[in-house]
Chains A and B, each alone.
Chain A
Amino acid sequence: MPEIRNFTLNFGPAHPAAHGVLRLVLEMDGEVIQRADPHIGLLHRGTEKLAESKPYNQSIGYMDRLDYVSMMCNEHGYVLALEKMLGIEAPIRAQYIRTMFDEITRILNHLLWIGAHALDVGAMTMFLYAFREREDLMDVYEAVSGARLHATYYRPGGVYRDLPDVMPLHEKSRWHSDADIERLNQTRGGTVLDFIEDFTNRFPKCVDEYETLLTDNRIWKQRLVDIGIVSPERALQLGLTGAMLRGSGVEWDLRKKQPYAMYDQVDFDIPVGKNGDSYDRYLVRIEEFRQSNRIIKQCVDWLRKNPGPVMHPDHKITPPKREEMKGDMEALIHHFKLATEGYCLPEGEAYAAIEHPKGEFGCYIISDGANKPYRLKIRAPGFAHMSAMDELTKGHMLADVVTVIGTMDIVFGEVDR
């Protein structure tokens, strides 16, 4: 009789379902996975080392490029750590803006997740649906920061600028007919807040659409139910956070338990799963869509009624207004010092964590009193999730690997840093 042996299969790094640059070495017994060994680091840029060579503010842009589908949430984690060390707090309006943009970012992230996840499993349409809404939200990003993806909008002490009064309109071009332009600009006549409010009014309908496509879909359920089950105890052991932890039935959300920004002022619920399988995690994230939408609505209401400053007034840390610099010597000096040297943090260390769309995103900063961090450690949720890959896929079929990668919501920008 011939000897039957396991064989190893190389998955990625250029596999479309590998969500970027994941190389998985799978040890297979027939079609069943015995061991999965993820090789990561193909996107390693040394963000932490780069940050050590730059003044604090210049690293905010690097944070966008970590998890490049939830940009502002990464910035929030970093900026919070800085504010903690400096002992300052952003003005309330800035904190509401941050809360709102964190939730916009959460929707952006989950939209990409649901699109890519469904596409991996075999539902092409979801991707197109998800990008329809993503487009609107990225326009909001662009309106406030000038960039659709890498916003660098949050700054220590507040946000870069207040919400603009006008939402930019689409212009006529070769790609859009007049009818198109009219339809696109219909909701863009007012302020940015008007546009966001309009979005929150139509978004629940969109989530319903996703659900009609997926929730009771026979194929979707066959591919997701009972795949990658994690018990609550194992989830804690493996360091899973965010929806991965809540899917296993652990009610843990930093927005509620260790509130930051304005999360203790807004109403929302934490959805939890029951079985800890991929399908439950899907349901959790779908509910998070609706809850985020609810939070955005409340923030819009508050922001309409309460104008105010969005930057901390201490110009040792935040740059003065451009107009002031024209006539005020002190403002000019402040700007010069900030641009050429930055600001120094007191000696010490701090860890600040936020509830990132993917889980707990934390920044650990050690400062020796200089204008650059001595050591910056970024705790990326995806890194811990990826390390659980072996356990989640063991005993499953090859095709389920794709489902597990999808359900973990992996983005390599943050895993490899």
Chain B
Amino acid sequence: MTEALRTLETHITKSLSEKLISSKIEINELTIEVAPVDLLSTVIFLRDDESCCFEQLIDLCGVDYLAYGESEWDVDASSFSRGVKREFSFDDSELDEMDVEFEGKRFASVIHLLSIKHNHRIRLKTYCDDNEFPVVDSVTDIWNSANWFEREAFDLLGIMYSGHPDLRRILTDYGFSGHPFRKDFPLIGQVEMRYDEEQQRVVYEPVSIEPRVLVPRVIRDDLRFTAAKENKTKTEAEE
């Protein structure tokens, strides 16, 4: 399996040459990254090339990297605290600050492809250039199954897919505002609804519950994994 993946990786690296931003094999999975401008030509190559032949788009999803690597508990600190920093703020100005502070590309669109003919998989990542208004090309024409997956990524993360035939919300409620899977969207949501006796209808109100964290998010340098990684890089260097 690994041998075949290696061959595939060299083939793709050769064919895509400078379009390819990075490629790596981890845990027996091949991941490649291209820029949004090269996405369409890359996917057409991946579908049509004889030794790639990815006939099926298995999955497409968006990722928000806003809070990547942030933990709620500083494990290096010498004293113990409750370990829970307040995660969200309802003050809009603070949210805006968060956006400004974030450096690098925030949104990524990840595609998982499967080739039934050659029995291999690939993961294709694209980072959107603009954090305020993330846009990627739609691959719906190449694989029709992308249609709903892209609608989902648009709905939940607000990534725009240009060229999509029907980019509507799909999972959230009619009239919903915001993109719930963004990291700055609170887990408890923004509105709650109830039936109002006087008005004789369902009304929406700001949430009344407080956000809480039961188990803080902790990032630990696990020695086993660090050791495994070092071993791996060592063997790779030797090769």
Contact = CB atoms under 8 A, between A and B. Distances in A.
B44 interface: no
A370 B69 CA distance: 8
A384 B218 contact: no
A41 B116 contact: no
A364 B145 contact: no
B56 A342 contact: no
A360 interface: yes
Interface stretch (B15-23, B24-32, B91-99, B198-206): B24-32
Interface string A233-245: 0001111010000
Interface string A38-60: 00110010101110011100100
B172 interface: yes
Interface stretch (A163-171, A205-213, A346-354): A346-354
B148 A344 contact: no
A364 B220 contact: no
Interface stretch (A177-185, A250-258, A284-292, A294-302): A250-258
B228 to A, nearest CB: 7
Given A237-B145, A350-B27, A258 B119 contact: yes
A321 interface: no
Interface stretch (A112-120, A269-277, A375-383): A375-383
Contacts of A268: none
A368 B69 contact: yes
A55 B116 CA distance: 35
Contact of B217 (A44, A370, A375): A370
B219 A369 contact: yes
Interface string B43-64: 0000000000001111101011
A344 B112 contact: no
B106 interface: no
A50 B171 contact: no
A60 to B, nearest CB: 15
A368 B68 contact: yes
B170 A41 contact: yes
Contact of B218 (A316, A350, A371): A371
A370 B218 contact: yes
Contacts of A258: 119
A87 B119 CA distance: 23
A309 to B, nearest CB: 20
Contacts of B144: 237-239
A386 interface: yes
Nearest to A417: B171
A32 B169 CA distance: 27
Contacts of B228: 87, 346
A238 B169 CA distance: 20
Interface residues of A, number: 54
Interface in B155-178: 169-173
Contacts of A360: 58
B180 A46 contact: yes
Nearest to A353: B58
Contact of B123 (A84, A257, A351, A388): A351
B215 interface: yes
B13 interface: no
Contacts of A349: 26, 29, 31, 123
A123 B121 CA distance: 42
Contacts of A306: none
Nearest to A339: B215
B120 to A, nearest CB: 9
Nearest to A235: B56
Contacts of B67: 374
Nearest to B123: A351
Interface string A107-131: 0000000000000000000000000
A364 B112 contact: yes
Given A54-B214, A237-B55, 20 more contacts: A41-B170, A46-B181, A53-B213, A58-B215, A87-B27, A236-B56, A239-B144, A348-B27, A351-B123, A362-B58, A364-B112, A368-B68, A368-B219, A371-B218, A371-B220, A374-B67, A377-B59, A379-B112, A383-B152, A388-B145
Interface of B: 26-27, 29, 31, 55-59, 61, 63-64, 67-69, 71, 110, 112, 116, 119, 121, 123, 143-145, 147-149, 152, 169-173, 180-181, 187, 213-222, 224-225, 228-229
Interface of A: 40-41, 44, 46, 48-50, 53-55, 58, 84-85, 87, 236-239, 241, 250, 252, 257-258, 316, 340-342, 344, 346, 348-351, 353, 360, 362, 364, 366, 368-372, 374-375, 377, 379, 383-384, 386-388, 416-417
13 contacts: A49-B181, A237-B56, A250-B116, A346-B225, A349-B26, A349-B123, A368-B219, A370-B71, A370-B219, A371-B217, A377-B61, A384-B145, A387-B148
